[in-house]
Amino acid sequence: MTRITELKVGKVKVTALKDGEHSLPAEVLLNLSKVDRGTIESDEKNSLSLSNINAYLVQSGEKNLLIDAGCRDLFGPTCGYLCEALEEAGLKPKDITDVFLTHLHPDHMAGVIDTGGTSVFKNAILKVMEVEYDFWRAGNFEAVEVNGADWASLAKSVIASYSDRLEILQRDSEVISGVSVISIPGHTPGHAGFRVDDGEQSLIHLGDIIHVPNLQLFDVNISTVFDIDSEIALKSRKEMLDMASTDKILCTSGHMLSPKFGHIEKVGSNYAVV
Ligand SMILES: [Zn+2]
């Protein structure tokens, strides 16, 4: 089984790295139909709530940019294979020059440190959006159930272990030359996707607007408890899908299943990946 899917955007090489897969339990999904809820509750390995955890390798010139880093050991035995995927792509952790985290949720950031809190990517600069950095550092998370103290403390450990090589990005920053940040608030305050442009070709990463593609592409109102502001997240989901389908840009995202890259097409009031 391969964990990687490679693609060229102009001269830039983009590789989707599959950290793992799991099905989300019904209790973390909101606005489900009764039928779908029944299906998900009766089969914990159902494909309706199947989600992948993807990271990305963007190789341009001398740069080996890693975007997100998987969930390490936090989500059980079906996930946490980022380094295996990286090796399949021909790289070791020491080869990574830059790491960009789309947001500071465990399934995107845990893999940048080991279980002892030491950085995994010894030669990389860690890049984080300013709004995201401020949110997780400043808040009082003790009384928060989801997005609570455990996640905030992991975010703080990640930031601390890269404190000597941390770069804070603004909304319209470039991560590296040719790779720019797309601000997509809602899921978290500083949540971002990215786009790669080279010559006539482009690729857009839609961030975490979707966690369970088999449900949310067919009903954009289905969401997860992980959205910090569900109203803004819904608005962002609609806007991004609308933009992707109207502009016919090649897309990918943090929880996309197979194929890892595709075009979003509007089908009635729903969407499909083609
Ligand atoms: Zn995620």
pLDDT tens profile 175-204? 999 999 999 999 999 999 999 999 999 999
By residue count, the chain amounts to 274
Residue 261 pLDDT class (50, 70, 90 cuts): very high
> Residue 35: is its pLDDT beyond 80?
yes
pLDDT tens profile 109-144? 999 999 999 999 999 999 999 999 999 998 777 777
Which residue bears the tokens 């020059």? 97
pLDDT at 21: 96
Contacts of 42 (CB under 8 A, 6+ apart): none
Residue 55 pLDDT class (50, 70, 90 cuts): very high
H-assigned helices in 101-188:
106-109, 130-138, 149-161
How many Å lie between the centroid of ligand 1 and the Cα of residue 254?
6
How many Å lie between the centroid of ligand 1 and the Cα of residue 266?
23
pLDDT tens profile 73-110? 999 999 999 999 999 999 999 999 999 999 999 999 99
How many Å lie between the centroid of ligand 1 and the Cα of residue 211?
7
Q: Which residues surround ligand 1, an ion (CB under 5 A)?
A: 107, 208, 254
> Residue 145: is its pLDDT beyond 80?
no
Measure CA 269 to chain center.
25
How many Å lie between the centroid of ligand 1 and the Cα of residue 24?
12
Contacts of 267 (CB under 8 A, 6+ apart): none
How many Å lie between the centroid of ligand 1 and the Cα of residue 207?
8
CA–CA separation, 36 and 32 (whole Å): 6
How many Å lie between the centroid of ligand 1 and the Cα of residue 124?
22
> Residue 146: is its pLDDT beyond 80?
no
Going along the chain from its start, the domains and CATH numbers come out as: 4-273 (3.60.15.10)
How many Å lie between the centroid of ligand 1 and the Cα of residue 208?
5
Please give the angle made by the CA atoms of 215, 145 and 186, to the nearest 5 degrees.
50
CA–CA separation, 174 and 178 (whole Å): 7
pTM for the model stands at: 0.96
Measure CA 189 to chain center.
14
pLDDT tens profile 198-241? 999 999 999 999 999 999 999 999 999 999 999 999 999 999 99
How many Å lie between the centroid of ligand 1 and the Cα of residue 178?
24
How many Å lie between the centroid of ligand 1 and the Cα of residue 89?
22
